[in-house]
Chains A and B, each alone.
Chain A
Amino acid sequence: MMSRIKNPIRNVVVERAVSQSPLVATLRERLPGISFAFVDTVPEQPQKIPGLLEVVHFKGRFWRSCPGTKTYECCGYQIVHIGTQCSLECTYCILQSYFQNPNLRIFGNIEDLMAEVRQVPASAPHRLFRTGTGEFTDSLLLDPWTGLSRHLVPVFARIPNAVLELKTKTNHVAQLEKLDHGGHSLVSWSLNADEVIRREEPRSAPLEARLEAARRCADWGYFLGFHFDPMIDYPGWREGYRRTLHALFNAVDPSRVVWISLGAFRFMPELKGIIERRHPKSRIVTGEFIRGLDGKMRYFRDIRLALYTEMVKEIRAWDSTLCVYLCMEGPWIWKRVFGFEPSEKGGLPAILDKAVRDRMGIEESSQGDENAF
């Protein structure tokens, strides 16, 4: 099935410090007709330049904890920071207001990145690390051209106490087929009701393309994850989300699915004006939002409860043992949706660690393989 996504790169600017990086070599090999410019420092651009990819020497921490809040349940996720921004232009995307630099940017010094990936889990061998690259960009958007998964997936295969999640809205998975993942990588998709995908995610892969890609990944032995986030309250949402769930479980074997997360649309107040300006046809900011305890705008509780309880009921009918969790929700919502608060089961991180153990067969108590690196 053809994706609606084409190569988003029209020209590349590379910082000289990373000009010899294997990632840059791969880009040059796979983008033969694209111009490459080399500069000492990529300047900060106030405005987006369509098609521009910046390859920079990143001097910060590649491995970091996902920012959570005190009032809403945090899942203890770890981020492997590979780059920033995305060209899918989803109307609701927080990246529109999160970073100053508006252009696609990846980090060329992958030797430094890989060193951190090897070092951090080894420093805490009794802890299970659930990590992902899809926090500040789409994990697979540029992967056919950067080949980053070719470096990351085999390394994670040899880290006994970590799993890697590649989170995407694309169907760019062909390059994953031959990789040695060792059962330590899961590929996950952000899913939505088809109406929402068409209206709010018009440049991402269609639902059927995402599910076809998921099926292929499952065939190659990857585990899967799905994230219904952001869920949107719109007339007909029940039927819309039900159809997506039916399509999902008709496409993949639920036993390959490690987790499904649910998160109702929420946004920092300053994003509202940006969405109104950049996406004048979108109505998503006109929902019945209140200011949450973390300052973000959220649907008021009745709406969130309705969205979640309906989804959980549907998912349970397909697989009663599948790990379903709520992203950034309060214990009072958990209690109403699941009948328990995360703290009663050791906290949300423990719930997700259990899913990794049960579905992927990975134990955090395993000792690190000293020869792995």
Chain B
Amino acid sequence: MARPQLKAVPLASIDWNDEGFAIPGYGPDEPLVQSLKAVGILHPPLLWEKKPNRFVIVDGFKRLSWLRPRSSHVDALVFAEETEAARLLVMRLEIKMLSRSLNLAEKVQILARYAALTSKEDLRQRICPALGFSWQTESLSLWQSMATWPARHLSALARDFIAEKTALSLAPLPEKDRESFLELLSALRCSASLQMEILERCQDIARRDGIRLHALVESPEMQAILEDKNRNRREKTAAVRELVHRWRFPRLHERMKRLERAMAEVNMPSALSLVPPPHWEGDMWELRMRFRTPSDLAVSLQEATHLGMQPSFQDVFEEFENASAAQPPGPRPVSPQGAA
């Protein structure tokens, strides 16, 4: 491939509508804008003289867009007309892939476009590791499929609100279901593990009740949480988790609430805390004790002895045991549009 020549190119000669080499970031690049304001263009953009005196942008879309209202010319590295478009695209992808940390939307686009240019082996051995993707065949096709998502979906990925694992789980979903979860999770901006918890539980509910995922997000209860102006994102996340837990585990949820109420009735000394068997499994309770000195410990031990005599303390165990004897009803759909 012939080396590019540094030339002063009139901006009016650039075909601004040709985005053949574009890999949109779907998000503002504030650090770049600040840098351009401060020092201007440091690295010449790459242009391809596709036809005599008509230029196509290969690399430098943002820099040129910034420059357009400010100048009439740009110093650019120009590839000659006879240069192969595919070679230019490879160059563009390599620059993009290695130049800075990419957002997820950019990564999936690079992967998808490279898939048409190189071998599967190269994708697995070089491109995927460079992009930080797992290379299993199944996930590879899912990652690639994300590049075809609508711009508003890619935009959610670009803002880094959606964890990679979550995005991978959303990839095979119907568009409407995916959209509803992208909106929900973008609003919550919770951790990757909480995103997966909410999504997996909702998938189980939908499967159990024979409903679509988006119906859960669009339910009045979920929407009320999301629209509540008195809750911050963390509080909304907690409320959504609570709601989804109630839908997913209706009987367990009810039992946990009843036990919580019984435990709240106990006049628990501040240095002690009572921990029931995890998930109601087993019969091993824990009484945790905090102390600084041996005399603190002696006091706490005495308090623990008295605690055991409290009727409200006995009630906790009665609640735990007696409710177990109750015959719980069979699982019923409790989600908003649950069908039998």
Which residues on A are within 8 Å of B, measured CB to CB? 71, 233-238, 276, 283, 285-288, 290-293, 298, 300-303, 305-306, 310, 330, 332, 336
Contacts and interface: CB of A to CB of B under 8 A. Distances in A.
B281 interface: yes
B207 interface: yes
B340 interface: yes
Interface residue range, chain B: 20 to 34
A301 B324 contact: yes
User: Which 9 pairs across A and B sit closest by C-beta, in order of nearness?
Assistant: A290-B279, A286-B208, A235-B330, A332-B283, A286-B204, A288-B249, A300-B252, A301-B280, A302-B328
A292 B331 contact: no
Given A235-B340, A286-B204, A286-B208, A303 B283 contact: no
B281 A290 contact: yes
Contact of A303 (B208, B251, B282): B251
Interface in B197-228: 204-205, 207-208
B233 interface: no
Contact of A336 (B324, B328, B331): B324
A330 B280 contact: no
Nearest to B207: A286
Contacts of A303: 251, 328
Interface in B171-208: 204-205, 207-208
Contacts of A288: 248-252, 331
Contacts of B1: none
Interface in B312-332: 323-328, 330-332
B120 interface: no
B255 interface: yes
A186 B255 CA distance: 42
A291 B282 CA distance: 11
A233 B324 contact: no
A235 B204 contact: no
A56 B297 CA distance: 65
Nearest to A289: B249
Contacts of B323: 302
A301 B322 CA distance: 12
Contacts of A310: 327
A330 B324 CA distance: 14
Contacts of A235: 330-332, 340
A358 B279 CA distance: 39
Interface of B: 204-205, 207-208, 248-252, 255, 279-283, 323-328, 330-332, 340
A305 B252 contact: no
Contacts of B208: 283, 286
Nearest to A281: B207
A290 B279 CA distance: 6
A324 to B, nearest CB: 19
B328 A290 contact: no
B14 to A, nearest CB: 49
B172 to A, nearest CB: 11
A237 B331 CA distance: 10
Nearest to A303: B328
Contact of B204 (A285, A293, A298): A285
Contact of A287 (B283, B327, B331): B331
B282 A293 contact: yes
A290 B252 contact: yes
- Most chain-A CB neighbours within 10 Å: which of B279, B324, B328? B324
Given A233-B331, A235-B331, 4 more contacts: A285-B204, A302-B328, A330-B283, A332-B282
A233 B281 contact: no
Contacts of A290: 252, 279-281
Contacts of B332: 235
28 contacts: A71-B282, A233-B331, A234-B330, A234-B331, A235-B340, A237-B330, A276-B207, A283-B208, A285-B204, A286-B207, A286-B208, A287-B331, A288-B252, A290-B280, A291-B281, A292-B281, A298-B281, A300-B249, A300-B252, A300-B280, A301-B280, A302-B252, A302-B326, A303-B251, A305-B324, A306-B327, A332-B282, A332-B283
A347 to B, nearest CB: 18
Nearest to B208: A286
A300 B279 CA distance: 7
B169 to A, nearest CB: 11
A305 B249 CA distance: 17
Contacts of B282: 71, 293, 330, 332
Nearest to A234: B330
A298 B278 CA distance: 13
A288 B208 CA distance: 11
A122 to B, nearest CB: 40
B324 A293 contact: no
Contacts of B250: 288
A285 B208 CA distance: 9
Nearest to B333: A235
A302 B281 CA distance: 10
A286 B206 CA distance: 9
